[in-house]
Amino acid sequence: MVSETKNTRKTVIKIVVCALAALLVMLVIALIVNLVKLGAVNSRMDALNAQNAKLDRLIQSNDNMIEYCQSSEFVETYAREVLDMIYRGEIVIGGQ
């Protein structure tokens, strides 16, 4: 009877140790998988931040162009060069 109890305890301890070892292995695998995913996410975030900075520069450039196109200097230059317009009473010398 005592021998059976010892064998039962040993068996239970072996089962618990095996279960804990399996759990530990699963936790290590999950940790590795999550670290790999985290690395991929960080890499993607860096790429998106770089793209965001590029788009911000493009937006700023376009804003500057829009601001210039709304200026009277641009309107006058465009009217003269593209539309061949002149002010009343103005005489064009050396035209094309």
Cα distance between residue 26 and residue 33, in whole Å: 10
Phi, psi of 71 (to 5 degrees): -80, 155
Question: pLDDT tens digits for the chain (96 residues)?
Answer: 667 888 899 999 999 999 999 999 999 999 999 999 999 999 999 999 999 999 999 999 999 999 999 999 999 999 988 988 888 888 878 755
Query: What single string gives the DSSP state of each residue in 42-90?
Result: HHHHHHHHHHHHHHHHHHHHHHHHHHHHTSHHHHHHHHHHTS----TT-
Q: Does the predicted model carry a pTM greater than 0.85?
A: no
